[in-house]
Structure 1
Amino acid sequence: MEEEIESLKEEIQNAKTIYDIERIFRRLWPDLLPKPFRKPLFGFPDVIIHASETSVKKHPLYSDAKSGSIESATELVKDTFNQDTVDDIRLLLHGRKPIVISAHAMEGEGVNVIPEAFAMLLAEKLGLEVESGIIQTNIVGHTGSDGFGRLSRQPVFDGDVIKSKEYFIVDDFIGMGGTIANLRGYIESKGGVVIGATALTGKAYSSKISPDRNIIQELRNKHGKELEEWWEKRFGHAFDCLTQSEARYLLKTENADRIRNKIVEAEQI
């Protein structure tokens, strides 16, 4: 026991970033971490994607933009912005004037300012207001992670929300849709209404975050009530709050024990 305590002290002393401290806390007391807010996503409109992953992630300014350079992020967004997609967003809004809200995220290299630059340009094109007061309060380290990494380390948000006001979410990338689902859940838990979302890039199949009801039922049938109860205790929401990609990922996993083990393993990274 004493050796474990000394080892823990040494690990804390050697921690270089808040992310290192958070990782230690997540390993030791996972159930005490803040739970993300989620609501069922049935009927949520598809996320509108602007550009291919290659055009965004291979852009010469991408790394600088992900690390906090607002100048690089602005140029990146301008170079990959799709006017046709803006027209699609305008059709979705159908005359409504939501607040544009971006997902502010801390990456391992710094604050990712691509969503902020994207939100500012989009709001300018659509004549909308931008909100920057809602922030992500934890570091999830999703870049380069597999599905279990994204599922296990979920973003949590905080900040002021205007009750009954409509919001439109902007992010730089959509993978499994968890960031958008959690930001939407937070905003609506505070009385706001999220009417849609867009991402600068992501795979086409990721755009559908509203899950098929039959997939949720298949997931419950395959892995059982016990896993869903474990999931709800761990993450604060049941399977009906999963995105389409999250539900499909869990459905493809062999059994409930593997899901639990892979989640616990991913939490240590």
Structure 2
Amino acid sequence: MLAMHNSLFDQSTTHPQRATWSEFPDVLIHAKEPAVKGHPAYREAKAGDVLAAQVLIRDNFNPAKVAALEALLPGVQPLLVSAHAFEREGVNAIPEVFADVLGQTLGWPVDAGVVQTNVVGHTGADGFSRLARQASFSGPIIPGADYVMVDDFIGMGGTLANLRGYIESQGGRVLAAVALTGKPYSAKLSSSPERIQELRKKHGNELENWWCARFGHAFDALTESEARYLVRTENADTIRNRIAAAE
């Protein structure tokens, strides 16, 4: 079982909660993005068709990744939790069906009680839109219980970071995450100290103070991909302006 760490949370009711990072395993991605998004059943599954989601997952399910997840958590039977994400076309069926298939394969319980409470419109969105429009969650969490997060896609990792923050703020422990597909470079959720130092050096305390006021957390709760995206942005004014425009 992975050693867990003490986390700091934003207790504000106006921001999605996040936990600071320590060591967190890379997200286990089952299939390459073209195989999933180019699948004939993808659009219908994303819009809420459960049968289409079952076909999509059947054709992209990776037993080697399941074995890796089981090896990562020997002797543990965590709850598999998926975000019932609202898309413009409907309620995305992929995460919940994916969690059900993983649960049946591993013999692990599935928690279907956690829901995403807002529409963020991340599908096809650019980085600043993903940063500006963050997912919020609600639902019962069992204090002291172990959880593994399940999602259909990982882009910059913000949705998983917010789901983790919500679960751990309610007393749960998040041990790992799984995605059906996503960007390989986004599999690393935990932002490195070197990346955070680079971000602070480039954009300074003023931007981090603004970020805390706007999002309720400091830079050390960003994912590695989010931090890298901000480091590559020319200056702090551009970041503030682009996020304001994306809202």
Same fold by TM-score greater than 0.5: yes
Matched ranges for 1:88-99 at <5 A: 88-99=68-79
Q: Is the 8 A contact 1:34 1:156 kept in 2?
A: no
Matched ranges for 1:194-213 at <5 A: 194-213=174-193
For residue 17 of structure 1, what is the aligned residue in structure 2?
A: none
Q: Which of the numbers 74, 85, 91 marks the counterpart of 1:105? A: 85
TM-score (norm 1): 0.86
2:129 is aligned with 1:149:
yes
Alpha-carbon RMSD across the aligned residues, in angstroms, is 1.0
Q: State how many pairs are aligned.
A: 236
For residue 15 of structure 2, what is the aligned residue in structure 1?
A: 35
Q: How far does the alpha carbon of each residue in 1:71-109 deviate from its partner, in whole angstroms, 9 at most, with x for none?
A: 111111011100111000111111101000011100000
Structure 1: which 5+ runs fail to align?
1-31
For residue 173 of structure 1, what is the aligned residue in structure 2?
A: 153
TM-score (norm 2): 0.94
Whole-angstrom distance in 1 between the partners of 2:136 and 2:227: 20
For residue 26 of structure 2, what is the aligned residue in structure 1?
A: 46
For residue 22 of structure 1, what is the aligned residue in structure 2?
A: none
Q: Which of the numbers 112, 137, 148 marks the counterpart of 2:117? A: 137
Q: How far does the alpha carbon of each residue in 1:158-197 deviate from its partner, in whole angstroms, 9 at most, with x for none?
A: 1100000000000000000001100000000000000000
2:206 is aligned with 1:222:
no
C-alpha displacement at 1:33, in angstroms? 8.2
Whole-angstrom distance in 2 between the partners of 1:42 and 1:214: 13
Whole-angstrom distance in 2 between the partners of 1:33 and 1:192: 19
For residue 14 of structure 1, what is the aligned residue in structure 2?
A: none
For residue 265 of structure 1, what is the aligned residue in structure 2?
A: 245
For residue 36 of structure 2, what is the aligned residue in structure 1?
A: 56
Q: How far does the alpha carbon of each residue in 1:11-36 deviate from its partner, in whole angstroms, 9 at most, with x for none?
A: xxxxxxxxxxxxxxxxxxxxx98311
Q: How far does the alpha carbon of each residue in 1:175-231 deviate from its partner, in whole angstroms, 9 at most, with x for none?
A: 000011000000000000000000000121110111110110111111111110111
Whole-angstrom distance in 2 between the partners of 1:33 and 1:263: 21
| Identity %, equivalent residues | 58
Whole-angstrom distance in 2 between the partners of 1:42 and 1:181: 13
Q: Which has the larger radius of gyration?
A: 1
For residue 76 of structure 1, what is the aligned residue in structure 2?
A: 56
C-alpha displacement at 1:41, in angstroms? 1.9
For residue 138 of structure 2, what is the aligned residue in structure 1?
A: 158
2:163 is aligned with 1:183:
yes
Query: Which structure: greater helix fraction?
Result: 1
Write out the 4+ residue segments of structure 1 that deviate beyond 4 Å after TM superposition: none
Whole-angstrom distance in 2 between the partners of 1:39 and 1:161: 16
Whole-angstrom distance in 2 between the partners of 1:77 and 1:228: 40
Whole-angstrom distance in 2 between the partners of 1:175 and 1:33: 25
Structure 2: which 5+ runs fail to align?
1-11
C-alpha displacement at 1:42, in angstroms? 2.3
